[in-house]
Structure 1
């Protein structure tokens, strides 16, 4: 019987400019650049297990380079790490302590963690474009609200908004091209068959579906952060709220889709039923958005077309 060899555990806290690394009881800091990362990776033993906190896009270079070298990567959600810190009685939060905590978390909780694997190229492109567009639209709204009352700026504001709209059009063109080049047009079409789901929401749903082999619709809902966090104790029923673990722009698009779907003949009665039960409008729309997600998952999983029928 072959003896299993324990893999070396590494914890990495990420910032835009630097990486703080905990390895074999020691902590070191390197620049967060491909050149520095490649030099550091040469010093590691083969097949290390690396825990790293998700931080926007700043962690992508190190996980991609480390994965290419054959190391096993575990990306830890920031909220999960924060809860783990509290559970261990940690009183300090520094880059060095976080790197050490990541290594400890991986060493003790590895069985419950999922190993990172590179997403398809189309996933990364769609995600980046959707996030860039969201930032652009948010900026447009802020500018319009801030400057629309200034008459002396009206002409310049109109020109600026026109330029922003041109950028939005360009981003949406790149989204369509990415979908076409990746052979995802049929999946997008299936999602768009759903009431309230337009191009952007369909792109977001297909993007999320690309990320993993989800066991069922519950797993897909959880990936999007639309599952419910339950906090009950004894006879006390805690307040339910979304976990919000997934991509925030996808959730926003799905909420907008639910706002449109609730006005359709298919979903109007269902939506009103939730309101009649005493749910707030936001709660009802979130539930409706979750129903749309489950149907979209089934359509993409089975590669079947949507047939509208009275909702149950």
Structure 2
């Protein structure tokens, strides 16, 4: 039997989850992550749009027990161009549909590796800015 699939639209303050035909809204914090775990069974495939920094904590939190798939926003945009308008709920549903269409070509270990690389790159950029005296506030 195929693992259940959920799609989660991530923003700075909230998470919109689509799971088994229903939508749920949670805060984008540990409390929200725990609510997702209460609803989604372990081993569930989870599609999360890569949203700058806002998706990283959620992805890390879920990676141990779930098959997390980080979806490039460009893929979601192209997918939506053919199937509807932009909204948080629509995005969550489309993320789930993309995960279903992906099959097993992208795994949790891929997402974990990409997240680690993203962390390394952003920390390296910050370190270089500090070392070079880059003025991030334009003063």
TM-score interval for Structure 1 and Structure 2 normalised by the shorter chain? 0.7 to 0.9
Structure 2 distance, partners of 1:53, 1:141, is 27
Q: By how many angstroms is 1:42 displaced?
A: 2.4
Pick the structure with greater CA Rg. 1
Counterpart in the other structure of 2:66:
71
Q: Is 1:95 the equivalent of 2:88?
A: yes
Q: By how many angstroms is 1:58 displaced?
A: 1.1
Q: By how many angstroms is 1:105 displaced?
A: 0.9
Q: Is 1:126 the equivalent of 2:123?
A: no
Q: By how many angstroms is 1:45 displaced?
A: 1.6
Structure with more of its chain in strand, by fraction: 2
Structure 1 distance, partners of 2:11, 2:42, is 25
Provide structure 2 residue ranges, at least 5 long, that are not aligned to the other structure. Answer: none
**Displaced runs of 4 or more, over 6 A:** none
Larger RCO of the pair (alpha carbons < 8 Å, separation 6+)? 2
Counterpart in the other structure of 2:5:
9
Counterpart in the other structure of 1:116:
108
Structure with more of its chain in helix, by fraction: 1
TM-score (structure 2 length as normaliser):
0.82
Q: By how many angstroms is 1:139 displaced?
A: 5.2
| Alpha-carbon spacing, 1:79–1:134, altered in 2? closer, same or farther (3 Å) | farther
Aligned equivalent of 1:107, options 83, 100, 105: 100
Maintained 8 Å contact 1:51/1:75: yes
3-state SS in 2 of match to 1:29: strand
Q: By how many angstroms is 1:108 displaced?
A: 1.8
Provide structure 1 residue ranges, at least 5 long, that are not aligned to the other structure. Answer: 145-312
Residues 35-79 of structure 1 show CA distances to partners (whole Å, capped at 9, x for unaligned) of 2212320232221001110012211122122112x2101111011
Maintained 8 Å contact 1:47/1:71: yes
Maintained 8 Å contact 2:56/2:115: no
Maintained 8 Å contact 1:38/1:65: no
| Alpha-carbon spacing, 1:54–1:135, altered in 2? closer, same or farther (3 Å) | farther
